[in-house]
Structure 1
Amino acid sequence: MRILLIASSFNSLTQRVLVELRDRGHTVPVQVTPDGAAIRDAVSRHAPELIVAPMLKAVVPEDVWTAHRCLIVHPGPVGDRGPSSLDWAIRDGVTEWGVTVLQADEEMDAGDVWATAAFRVPEVGKSDLYRNELSDAAVSAVLLAVERVAAGYTPRPQAGGRIRARPALRQEQRRISWEEDGTETVLRTLRAADSQPGVRDELLGAEWFLHGGHAEDGLRGRPGELLATRAGAVCRATVDGAVWIPEIRARTGAGRPRACKLPATLALAGRLPDLPELPPPTRPSGRGRRTWSDIQYREQGPVGVLSFAFPGGAMSTDHCRRLLHAYRAACTRPTSVLVLGGRRDFFSNGIHLNVIEAAADPAAESWANINAMNDLVEAVLTTTDRVVVSAVGGNAAAGGVMLALAADEVWCRSGSVLNPHYRGMGLYGSEYWTYTLPRKVGTAMAARLIEEGRPVSAAASLGMGLVDRVVDCGPGEYTAEVTRLAARLASGPGVQSRIAAKKAEHERREPVTAHREQELSHMRRIFDDPAAPYHALRRAFTRKEAAGAPSTDARGAGAAVTAEC
C-alpha cells in the first residue's frame, strides 16, 4: 500500500512507524507538516491510499479526511481525549494505559476506532515511556489497523459512556510545592513533564524548567533546599526525602532565543552554593535504598555490565570522559565478557549539541566533544583481552551507533531504531565510522546508509549485518535478558579461543588511527567554518527554531533527531 505519514516532527514514534511499515513492503513517504495547508499539499503530491498520523499537532483539514482515509495515533485508551494524555496518566499514577488508532473526524480524538493496544506504565519519565512501551503498543495498533484497512474492516464508534476529555496540562497544574509535596508526588510531576515541557520552578533567584527526576533516599534537608551534586545533576530535598534533577533549562522572556536544556550544574554555574559533589554509588541501588547515577557497573560471574543513561542520549565531553574512565576500570576486572550499555531507552545519540550550543566557543567545544567521543570509541575498539558486547536497549544515532559498532558484537532490542548517519547535522562524521561501518555492512551499504540518512529498524539492521542479535522482549525485561545472554556467551566453550584470536588479529591488522585522523580533518574544517550548515542546524535543533523546508522522504533525520520524544 502507498501510505503517507504526516507528523508535526520526525520524532521517535514517527520513525518507528515508518521503518516498521517499510519493512513490511509498504511505500511510505513522510511529510513533516506545520499546518493544514502543508497536509493538503502532501496529499496532493503523494496521492496516498492511506494516511497515518503518528504524532500530529496540526488539525487535518476536513476536505482531506472526507476524501481520504486518515488514521490518527492517539496516546491514550479508547475514550480518552485531549493533547496531554500521557502527561495526565503519569501525573495520576496509572499502572496501565493504551494507544488508540482512530479515524480523523470533525471532533478531535472522537473518530471511529480502527485498533487499540494496552501497555504497562513503569515508573519512568514520559519520554522514556513514549519511546518504549507506548511505541511498542502504537506499532502493534498501527499494523493491525493497516491490515484491517486492507481487509475492508468497518471501524467501531467510541462508546459514549467511556469518553473522558481533558484539557492540556498547564504549568500552573504542574507546580511543585516543595514545602508540602513528598518524593513520590514530586517524581510523578517531574516524570509527567519529561522531556517536554519541563516543570517551571523558582531556584536560586531565577525561573527554570526542571527536567527529569530520580529518587534519593539517603539524603535529607529542608524542603526545597539543594543538598548535593553528582555528575552534573543537583539533589533537592522534599518533605520526606530528596530527588536528583539531571537537567534544567532557563526560562527566557518573549523575543529572546530559547535557552538550551543543560546538565543542571552547568546551567546553574555561578549561582550554585558550595555543595558536596557525591561520588557515584559503588553498586546499583537495591529496593531498600534508592539513589541515582548515570554510569553503573556490576558483575555476574564472568560478565561485567557497564551501563549508562544520559538524558536524551546526548554525550558531552564530560560524559565521554567519565564513561571512558569507567570503561578502563571495568577492563581491569577478571571478566571474559563486558557488556557496554544494557539499559532500557537511549544508547547514545553522539555529541551533546545543547552543551556545545551553550558554550562560549561552540567550535572549540565541538572539537573537544568529538575527540572525547573518539577516545571512548578507540578504547572499545582496541580492547583485546575480553569479548565486548554493545547492548542497545533503545534508539541510537550518529556517533552513538558508531560507539556500539566498536564492540565485538552489537545486540539491540526489537523496538530499537538506529540512525547510522550524520546527515541531518551537516557533519562528515567521526568515531571511526569509516572503519567500523564498512566492516559490518560492506562498503556499498555503508555509503548508502551515510548518504541516504534514513532510520533503520532492528530487524533491517540484523538483515544487513549492522547488528548481530535482536533481543525480542519488552523494554523492562531487556537488562535481565541481555545479562542472561552474556552469561551464556561467557560460559561457552569457545570464548577463550575467541579472545585469543581477537588479540592476534589486532596485532596483525593495520593501525586504525589513520581513520580517526582523516575523519577529524573533515570535522575540524566544519567546526571552524562559521558558514558551515552545521552551526545553523545545531542552533535550530537546540533552540527549537525553524531550519528550512521539512523533508518529504524521511531523509535528513540527523544526529540528534531522536533526542526528544
Structure 2
Amino acid sequence: MNTHLIDLQVQSGIATLCFNRPEKRNAMSDDMRTEFIVALEHVANDKSIRALVLTGNGKGFSAGGDVAGMERRMQAPIGEVGFNGWSRQQRVHHTVSLLHTMPKPTIAAVNGAASGLGADTALSCDFIIASEAASFTWSYINRGLIPDGGGMYFLPRRVGLAKAKELIFSGRKVNADEALRLGIADRMSSAETLLADAQAWATELSQGSATALALGKTILNQTFELSANQVFAQGSQAQGICYTSSEHRDAVMAFLNKSGDKNTPQRPSQD
C-alpha cells in the first residue's frame, strides 16, 4: 500500500508505516490523518501482519499538527469553530485508539523530531526505539493548546505525573539520551540501523501466539484503571479463549511429540 502521504510496506509479516510528508517534517494534515486511519485499519484486520513499525520519512518523525490547518480552522464562522473542533477531535481520538488498541505489537521508530501530536503518536505505540537524532517535545503549550493525541494519558504512565506535568507545562525539548533515561524511549539505535533494529525487535515480539498477544495486550492496556479482581476476571475469560485456539493446541502437541510423552498418562492439569 503506497499512497501520497502514507507509505505502508509489509515484509515477512512486519508492516512498516512511514509518514510521507518530509517537506513538512511529516506534520499531520487532515488528508494525512485519513490515510493513516485507512492504513491502521488495514494492519489491524490483516491476519498475515504480525506487528507494526511506525516511522517518518526524511529528517523528522512528525512535527505534530499542521499549523496551516489550524489557521484554516480559525477562519471558520465563530458559531462553527467549537463544533468543527469537536468533530476533528473525534477523528484524532479514533486514530489514537486504533494505534493503542492494535491487536498486535507496535513500535515507534523515532528517527528525528517528534513534536506535539507526533510525540503523542509515538507514545500510543507499545514501544519506542529512538535514534541518536531523535527528540521529543510536548509543545502544545506554545500554541495555546493541551495535548490532544493521548499525551495526557500515556506520558504520566511512562515518566510519572510530576515529570509529565513539567514536560507538558514547559513544552521543552527532550533529547534521545534524556528520553531513554526518563523512560519515554525504551531503546536507542543509530540512525543507520534504526529501522532494521525496529523491524528485528518487532519480529522478536510477534513470534508467539497472535491470539494470546491480542488478548494479553487488551488486558494489559487496562491494568492501571482496573482492580486486581477485574484483571483476574478478564484474564480468566481470555485464558478460556486461548485454550480453544489452534496455536495452543499445536504448541502442546508439538511439545508432547518432541518429548516423547504423547502416549504417557498425564496427571490432571491444574491450569
State the TM-score, normalized to the length of structure 2: 0.71
AA matched with 2:202: A
C-alpha distance in 2, partners of 1:462/1:495?
29
User: Pairwise mapping of residues 218-367 of structure 1 onto structure 2 (< 5 A)?
Assistant: 282=1, 293-310=4-21, 311-333=24-46, 334-341=48-55, 343-359=57-73, 360-361=75-76, 363=81, 366-367=85-86
Query: What SS does the aligned partner of 1:422 have?
Result: helix
Query: Which 5+ residue runs of structure 2 have no aligned equivalent?
Result: 227-271
**Alignment length (residue pairs):** 218
Cα 1:422–1:507 shift into 2, 3 Å: closer
Tell whether the 8 Å contact from 1:316 to 1:369 is kept in structure 2 after alignment: no
| Structure showing the higher strand proportion among its residues | 1
Cα 1:508–1:416 shift into 2, 3 Å: closer
Q: CA deviation at 1:494?
A: 8.4
Larger radius of gyration: 1
Aligned to 1:455: 173
Q: 1:392 aligns with which of 99, 110, 114?
A: 110
| Residues 51-99 of structure 1: per-residue CA shift (max 9 Å, x gap) | xxxxxxxxxxxxxxxxxxxxxxxxxxxxxxxxxxxxxxxxxxxxxxxxx
Query: What SS does the aligned partner of 1:449 have?
Result: helix
AA matched with 1:469: R
C-alpha distance in 2, partners of 1:368/1:312?
25
Q: CA deviation at 1:508?
A: 5.9
C-alpha distance in 1, partners of 2:150/2:122?
11
Q: CA deviation at 1:336?
A: 2.2
AA matched with 1:435: Y
Cα 1:504–1:366 shift into 2, 3 Å: closer
Aligned to 2:194: 478
Q: CA deviation at 1:486?
A: 2.4
Tell whether the 8 Å contact from 2:28 to 2:65 is kept in structure 1 after alignment: yes
Query: What SS does the aligned partner of 1:440 have?
Result: helix
Aligned to 1:433: 151
Q: Out of 364-373 and 478-487, give the one that drifted further.
A: 364-373
AA matched with 1:483: Q
Query: What SS does the aligned partner of 2:109 have?
Result: strand
| Residues 7-27 of structure 1: per-residue CA shift (max 9 Å, x gap) | xxxxxxxxxxxxxxxxxxxxx
Is 1:378 matched up with 2:97? yes
State the TM-score, normalized to the length of structure 1: 0.36
User: Pairwise mapping of residues 405-420 of structure 1 onto structure 2 (< 5 A)?
Assistant: 405-420=123-138
Cα 1:499–1:371 shift into 2, 3 Å: closer
C-alpha distance in 2, partners of 1:494/1:414?
33
User: Pairwise mapping of residues 502-541 of structure 1 onto structure 2 (< 5 A)?
Assistant: 502-506=217-221, 510=225
Q: CA deviation at 1:479?
A: 3.1
Q: CA deviation at 1:368?
A: 4.5
Q: CA deviation at 1:304?
A: 1.3
| Residues 482-537 of structure 1: per-residue CA shift (max 9 Å, x gap) | 3233233334x6887554421233466649xxxxxxxxxxxxxxxxxxxxxxxxxx
Q: CA deviation at 1:429?
A: 2.3
Same amino acid, percent of matched pairs: 25
C-alpha distance in 1, partners of 2:90/2:143?
17
Cα 1:489–1:510 shift into 2, 3 Å: closer
C-alpha distance in 2, partners of 1:309/1:452?
29
C-alpha distance in 2, partners of 1:445/1:507?
22
Query: What SS does the aligned partner of 1:431 have?
Result: coil
Q: CA deviation at 1:449?
A: 0.7
Tell whether the 8 Å contact from 1:342 to 1:478 is kept in structure 2 after alignment: no
Aligned to 2:187: 469
C-alpha distance in 1, partners of 2:64/2:120?
9
C-alpha distance in 2, partners of 1:344/1:355?
21
Q: CA RMSD in A?
A: 2.6
Tell whether the 8 Å contact from 1:356 to 1:366 is kept in structure 2 after alignment: no
Compare relative contact order (CA 8 Å, sep 6+) and give the higher one, 1 or 2: 2
Cα 1:403–1:394 shift into 2, 3 Å: same
| Structure showing the higher helix proportion among its residues | 2
Q: CA deviation at 1:427?
A: 1.0
C-alpha distance in 2, partners of 1:430/1:460?
23
